[in-house]
Amino acid sequence: MARAEPITPYRRDWRQGRAMSWITTVDHKRIGILYLATSLVFFAAGGILALLMRSQLATAGESFVTKNSYNELFTIHGTTMIFLFIVPFWAGLANILVPLQIGARDMAFPRLNAASYWFFLFGGIVMFMSFLANGGAARSGWYSYPPGSEKLFSPGNGQDLWILSLHLVAISSLLGAINFICTIHNMRAPGMSWMRIPLFVWTIEVYSFLLVVVLPVIGVGLTFLLLDRQAGTHFFLPEQGGNAVLYQHLFWFFGHPEVYIIILPAMGVISEVIPVFSRKPIFGYKAIAFSTIAIGFYSMLVWAHHMFSVGLPGFLNVFFMLSSMVIAVPTGVKIFNWIATTWRGNLIFDTPMLWALGFVALFTIGGLSGIFLAAYPVDWQVTDTYYVVAHMHYVLFSGAVFGAFAGLFYWWPKIFGRVLDERLGKAQFWLVFIGFNLTFFPQHMLGLMGMPRRVYTYDRHGLFEAYNLISTIGSGIMTLGILLFFVNVVKTNRTGRRAPNDPWLGDTLEWYTTSPPPPHNFDRLPYITSARPLRDLRRRLAERGNA
């Protein structure tokens, strides 16, 4: 098949330059690479914390870490993976791809774009510096419910630094979200109507609107908590007239949309990868686009299903139970459309496709366990057990991380000009896939057997020790898979095959320019006539060649 090539290649590599040029850059591609690199460093740090936790839980009565240290580990692990890894990772990938996919030369506000990265970096540094604070790091969970996070129970400075860190990261995300919205609305290529933009861009659009709506709410909750701790107020202290449940409402009004802030970009990646490696158009483009909007809307109507056990009125439990089940409908639309796209397609099982199919399989398992948790009588029985831990990781890890690796392997040639090693990539996939299921599937059984979450040790009760040991072994296998990725990156950087401009025969506009793209992205653009402009261009070139 004919490949659509740009008019002229750009010979100078924009990635080269002194360190100061990277520190002061406003180029969206460089900023995106900084985001990706930093978020992957935090991913590694969060993974190390998880390994320490699993080492402590491998056997009953283990004393590898103290109870206070364990509480710090699970608090910073959860916060790191959500706020410092996956949300900034999507910001980095979107920084690189959104202008390329819509035919723009840069983001709408380049300096604001750079500022958002530095807020994120400093927020992450503050988070990990809190381990050195008086009293250690925060240890009240990644959600920091009062009264556990109030001064009486968390007297050290680590909790205050945790709040400051999240404020900095929230500012970063808010600035980035506004920038994405302005870029997508105002800088699309000629002919690119809303029904012609790539599905990844659709997910970034909804992701950005969700951030703009919900970040101020969590900002208010964290500010009130900081005032309780430092200014003598009592917003969340019941004995002084406050209301601890108010914090939970503020947190989860942000927290549940945050799940879809994490998942929607991954769904966008899957919607780009599956049709390319099925050699078919995406099945139901409009249905997937509108289901993305529906998920964003419904995600703000289900937050209290995290609070079924706090004593809400019965009619509220029923409302949030039903709304939580309804949100499964647009998600199901996406899954069935992805499956329909592969039906009778010419499937190519390269590494990006493996990660995409792994996402679909594991995210479906996580969604099914979520349907059970959405029924509040079931939730009352398993809340705060390892069943919830298993569900959360099947949704967030299998969704976000599998989607992230699908995106990295798919777009790495475009970003860096070299193709990641396929053998190492496939070995990594299978190690992570097997290790993930060994780690988290047994935790469903642990939860149903009654093992509570957030405990640093346990007695030899039934199969507790056996399932925990299997889970710890799985985490080690998964770690080997993640390490293979970093080996792959080093190997590819040294000896990797140079990428052509369009190595996968992609559909979207980023494959029209060079690999990596020049500073100005494009010499010229084809007129956009569909959501698959590169396929249209290849067809026109083939027709011209046959004429």
DSSP codes of every residue in 174-196: HHHHHHHHHHHHH-PPTT--GGG
Average pLDDT over residues 23-28: 94
**Contact indicator for 339, 360 with CB cutoff of 8 Å:** yes
Average pLDDT over residues 419-432: 97
CA-to-CA distance for 82 and 77, rounded, in angstroms? 9
Name the active-site residue from 80, 144, 172, 323: 172
What's the angle, vertex CA 487, arms to CA 486 and CA 489, rounded to 5? 60
Of all helices (H) and strands (E), which one includes residue 116?
Answer: helix 110-129
Q: Would residue 456 count as lying in a domain? A: yes
Crossing angle (nearest 10°) for helices 402-416 and 422-448? 160
Does the annotation mark 298 as catalytic? Answer: no
Q: Would residue 4 count as lying in a domain? A: no
Q: What confidence score (pLDDT) does residue 496 get?
A: 86
Q: Would residue 405 count as lying in a domain? A: yes
Name the active-site residue from 249, 256, 391, 532: 256
1 has pLDDT over 50: no
* Residue 482 banded pLDDT, cuts 50, 70, 90: very high
* Residue 442 banded pLDDT, cuts 50, 70, 90: very high
Digit-coded pLDDT (tens) for 94-116: 999 999 999 999 999 999 999 99
Does the annotation mark 260 as catalytic? Answer: yes
Provide the domain limits for residue 156.
Answer: 21-305+317-540
**Contact indicator for 117, 34 with CB cutoff of 8 Å:** yes
Give the 3-state DSSP-derived string for 509-545, with helices as H, strands as E and coil as C.
HHHHCCCCCCCCCCCCCCCCCCCCHHHHHHHHHHHHH
Does the annotation mark 173 as catalytic? Answer: yes
**Contact indicator for 261, 210 with CB cutoff of 8 Å:** yes
CATH of the domain at 291: 1.20.210.10
CA-to-CA distance for 129 and 143, rounded, in angstroms? 19
Does the annotation mark 271 as catalytic? Answer: yes
Beta bridge partners of 385: 452
Distance of CA 268 to the CA centre of its chain: 11
Report in angstroms the alpha-carbon separations of 480 from 339, 422, 433, 434, 476.
Answer: 30, 17, 11, 11, 6
Q: Would residue 504 count as lying in a domain? A: yes
Question: E strands of 443-498, at which residues?
Answer: 497-498
pTM for this predicted structure? 0.94
On the CB side of 490, CA atoms within 13 Å amount to: 4
Q: What confidence score (pLDDT) does residue 440 get?
A: 97
Does the annotation mark 256 as catalytic? Answer: yes
Dihedral (CA of 214, 216, 217, 218) sign = positive
Q: Would residue 11 count as lying in a domain? A: no
Write the CB contacts of 279 (distance below 8 Å, at least 6 apart in sequence).
345, 346, 348, 505
Q: Residue 207's closest CA among 284, 94, 107?
A: 94
* Residue 18 banded pLDDT, cuts 50, 70, 90: confident
Average pLDDT over residues 333-339: 97
Q: What confidence score (pLDDT) does residue 16 get?
A: 58
Does the annotation mark 172 as catalytic? Answer: yes
Q: Would residue 31 count as lying in a domain? A: yes
**Contact indicator for 129, 168 with CB cutoff of 8 Å:** no
Does the annotation mark 444 as catalytic? Answer: no
CA-to-CA distance for 124 and 118, rounded, in angstroms? 10
**Contact indicator for 509, 534 with CB cutoff of 8 Å:** yes
Digit-coded pLDDT (tens) for 244-293: 999 999 999 999 999 999 999 999 999 999 999 999 999 999 999 999 99
CA-to-CA distance for 477 and 306, rounded, in angstroms? 31
What phi and psi values does residue 419 have, to the nearest 5 degrees? Answer: -95, 125
Does the annotation mark 306 as catalytic? Answer: yes
Name the active-site residue from 90, 142, 376, 387: 142
Q: What confidence score (pLDDT) does residue 363 get?
A: 95
Does the annotation mark 258 as catalytic? Answer: yes
Q: Would residue 435 count as lying in a domain? A: yes
How many domains are contained in the chain?
A: 1
Name the active-site residue from 75, 140, 144, 173: 173
Counting residues of the chain whose pLDDT is more than 90, the rounded percentage is 87
Q: What confidence score (pLDDT) does residue 535 get?
A: 86
Q: What confidence score (pLDDT) does residue 17 get?
A: 64
CA-to-CA distance for 522 and 29, rounded, in angstroms? 13
52 has pLDDT over 90: yes
Q: Would residue 396 count as lying in a domain? A: yes
